[in-house]
Structure 1
Amino acid sequence: MSAAADPRPANPAETAVRRTITLTWGLYLFGALYLVGPVLGWLLGGLALVSLYLGPAMRADLRAAPIPPVVWAWMAGMAGMLVALWIGHLDWGLGAKQTIKSSVGWAKGWALLALFPLIGAVLPIRREVIARAQCVVGLHTLILLPLLVAAPYAGLPSQIFVSPLKAVGGPGPEYFTVYLYTLDPASWTARWQFFAPWSPFAGLLGVTAVLFALEERDRRWMLAGLLAGAAMILLSKSRMSLVALVVCTLGPRLLGLIVRSWAWGAAAAVAAGFAFVGDRVLDAGAAAVHGFKSARADSTRVRETLQRIAEQRWRSESVWFGHGTVQPGPHIVEYMPIGSHHTWFGLLFVKGLAGLVCLLVPLVWTAWLAALDAARGPRGRLPLGLVLMMVILTFGENIEIEAYLLWPALMMLGIHARELREDARTIAPETPSRP
């Protein structure tokens, strides 16, 4: 790969970000990824606060930018999550030990959804540094791909080892386990999860890799990122990631058409044509949805049952602040925890309506800003694609326990908020003042 136009780190914050991302596979082989994400978030978050406090006294290459309003919303929302957690624990008498444990979990999960946007918005970290680092990870993935693909056919074990770092604590041993591949219990065929704790999440990380690769200017690095992302999506065999790939790549690029007059004419022609073939299109869509759900019917059944139980118990037992923590599910859902496998139903069950609002408001605000910018030009495509990926993720996973791998996307949202604020500050002086 060429080193030409290499966006080398220009300050310690960019160095820490780039090295952490490029060491993804190495950290995974030590079972350390789950720990490194939160540690990086709190260290760089502390650096951002120090930079804000010192102001002009801070070294020139680390001076802080003002916190954008949308990042304040993320910080307020995630602080609200902690308050809702405490209230839920008090309501259900879960005790001081469980409250402390859950608060530590908040610091390693929900808090990162505020810390990394804050870091991206305040510290001078460039988007091209993150994009190049993601493509480097893509190259490493392609190098390891032959071993990963050949492993199940060569009779190699699925699981290599469980890192002793699991003693630190986490959601489960899978976060500290190194896998070559896994076996789908429904079909007993191989699936690959790369450096993620399970395959569906690996597929969405593949979508993230594609989105960042499309931002890369060097064509060879871009190709490495695109190929690696595509491999992660296909080999994870995740239905959700296939949908996300289309939505998150094409959606932001098609959005710009709405500001062009000819697009409205084309839309009118499509609408007129739909009057003649609409029934067949709807039937085909219904058949596609049915086939999508039937592809892994057992998984769909478990997820839908979990959601139904979580909603019913939320409505009948604790509407405002939830149950404080997930609870073991019955045999019908294979003992999966109630409040898992869906961010929104999980929030309702664990933190109630208060918790849902704490995530919904900053997420919608961020999506709105990214959509407006994507409609104006290409700068908004990457952040909008990442927001759409996160939204899709919330309907199949618990986003907070996966923030330790989503942090480059979260940081990119903060960088975009900083870019928008800089635009506003540039335009403001040109606005004539009133007499």
Structure 2
Amino acid sequence: MPPPDRDNVLTPSQLNTLARNLLEDAFPLVLVEGELGNLSRPASGHLYFTLKDARAQVRCALFKPKSQWLRFQPREGLRVLARGRLTLYEARGDYQLILDSLEEAGEGALRRAFEELRAKLQAEGLFDTERKRPLPAYVRRLGVLTSPSGAAVRDVLSVLARRFPLLDVDVLPVPVQGETAAAQITSMLKRAAASNRYDALLLARGGGSLEDLWAFNDETLARTIAASPVPVVSAVGHETDFTLADFAADLRAPTPSVAAELLAPDRRDLLSQLTNLNQRLQTLHLHRMRTAMQRADRAALRLNALRPQARLQALRDRQREAIRRLSAAWRTRVDRDIAKLRHADAVLRAMHPRRRLAILRDRLSALAPRPQAAIARQLQREALRLRGLARSLEAVSPLATVARGYAILQHEDGRVVRVVGDAQSGDRLDARLSDGRLLVRVESEI
């Protein structure tokens, strides 16, 4: 025997996972009827038990909070109808049911019939949202199909009287329970819709068990509701109760009282809306009146402007205004010319030759002594400068040295004898003294 392929070998966990996936895919939703056994409710709130018959049993679990919604008290030996999905509890390798709902078996057959009929009508599109008709904004006449002696009709009438007493309400008496109730409700609904009297129809009934509400799960009634030309509101049972009439109706209300609130506006809201609309209407009316009066005034002004007398008067006014402006312009021009003449006269007077000659004489008289004074000042400055130069020359002049008893010896050619070596025996020299000149001859050097 060849060794097994390790890639095809499964662990228990893998095998259980594969089995669980196969079970859940093959049995997504099942209904099981059986007897309760091994009932356990731990502190977590979950409910664990087995469903069994004479030959087999299956483990079940109903988790919290669905276990808190049960309408009965589970007990050992009670026959129930369970709805859920089949799966595998991998820790033990046991398959079990994870439940969505649990009912007593007395209602189980009815519940199955309800679910089958609901699925059938839903597949036909009878419950589609696109098919449903909108309710009118304000219902003027309402037909209420209900028992005239039940609590539902009293609740509906009480709410309608409180919210909108002007609503015209007709109670159309029908039985809401029993074998003939569905047929009578269907007949009354057809007659009410064909009468063209009502803006909306209301199906109302108080709460009860599934058997009590079964008349509203009739297929014919559901089709009649869907085909009604008048919008139908369904308010059957309590908030947790659902019937085929609810699915087929154009609007489903949790209770009859809520349905009445949905169908009838609150008179206080209407009064507030009427007050706002009245204020808006008055404001609009005043605005239009003011606009019309302004248009009338403008039209009257235009008519007055088009009359011959008015045009003549307007021309007179324009003529007077033109004359006034011309006179003002003429006066302004004359005043400006007079001012210019006065200015020219003043300029001519100021520029007259005699006046200019007198001005020049005055200026000449004022300027005459100024050159002599300037020459005298200049001569004085030059004399002072010459005296300074003379003193400077005297300070450096050789004549000053001669005047103190010295003499200057020069050769005949003018060369000055500064040292003994500059003269030789026999040279004739010119000796310059302070009072004259002497001719000397050098006899010898000492």
TM-score > 0.5 by shorter chain: no
Q: Normalized per residue, which structure has more helix? A: 1
Higher relative contact order (CA 8 A, sep 6+): 1
Q: Normalized per residue, which structure has more strand? A: 2
TM-score by length of 2: 0.18
Larger Rg, first or second structure (1 or 2): 2
